[in-house]
Amino acid sequence: MPETDTDIEAAFLADPFADHGPELQRLLFALRDQPAAGKLVLIEVEPGRKWQLARLGGRGQPVERLDHYFDDLRAAERHVFRLRLDERQA
């Protein structure tokens, strides 16, 4: 039975670092395969403990730090996954 979009998204949110099925992997490639300028990334502010959301400026430009912090990498993946999905659907 084909996976629905909701199933696919739920699979990622359940464990962003799991081995994903082909439909979810296809979606992830599409979400991740974006130009560097404007791409959301993380900055490690405390080794292994705290990460800050940031946005790449592209060639020759500084990184823009955003006021959003995570204490878990999976939580950061989920947050950015939702943001990218929203942007894609907008």
Partner 1 sequence: MIADPDFGIIGYTDRWSYRPGETVSLHLSAKTAGLGRASLHRFRQYVPQNPGFELILDAIDGADAHFEVVPQQTRIGSYFEADLPLEHEPHSGLALAVMVRPTAVGAEGNGLFSLTAGDAALSLSIHPGGLLRARFKGDGAPVAETWSEVLAVNAWQALTVHFNPQAERLEICVRRGGELRNYAMALPAGFPAGAAKLTLAAAECSSLPSFNGRLEAPLLCKDGADARSMLARLDAFLDGAVPSEGVMAAWDFSRQMDSAVIADCGPHGCDGRLVNLPMRAVKGVRWSGGEQSWKHAPRDYASIHFHQDDLLDANWPAATTLALPDSLASGLYLIEVAGDAGRDVLPIFVTPKVRGRRSKLAFVAPTFSYLAYANDRCLLHGANPEVLANRMLVLTEGDCALAAHPEFGLSLYDTHVDGSGVSYASRRRPCLTFRHSQRAWQGGIGSGLWNFSADLLILSWLDREGLEYEIVCDDQLDAEGSGALGAYDCVLTGSHPEYHTANSHDAFSGFLAQGGRLIYFGGNGFYWRVSTHADYPGTIELRRAEDGNRSWASEPGEYYHAFDGAYGGLWRRNGRPPQHLVGVGYTGQGFFRCHPYRFTGDCQIDRVGFLFDGDPPQAETLLGDFGQIGGGAAGIEIDRADTRLGTPEHALVIASCSAFDDSYVLANEEVLVNRPTVVGRLSPLLRCDLVFFETPAGGAVLSTGSVAWAGSLGDLPADNDIARLTRRAVDRFLDAAPFSVPHQPSPQSGK
Q: Which residues bind partner 1 (CB under 8 A)?
A: 16-17, 19, 25, 29, 32-37, 39-44, 46-49, 51, 54, 56-63, 73, 76-77, 80
Question: What is the C-alpha separation between 80 and 34, in angstroms, rounded?
Answer: 13
Question: What is the C-alpha separation between 8 and 25, in angstroms, rounded?
Answer: 9
Least Å from the CB of residue 10 to partner 1: 19
3-state helix vs strand vs coil in the chain, percent to 5:
40, 20, 35
Of 4 and 25, the one with the shorter C-beta distance to partner 1 is: 25
Of 16 and 23, the one with the shorter C-beta distance to partner 1 is: 16
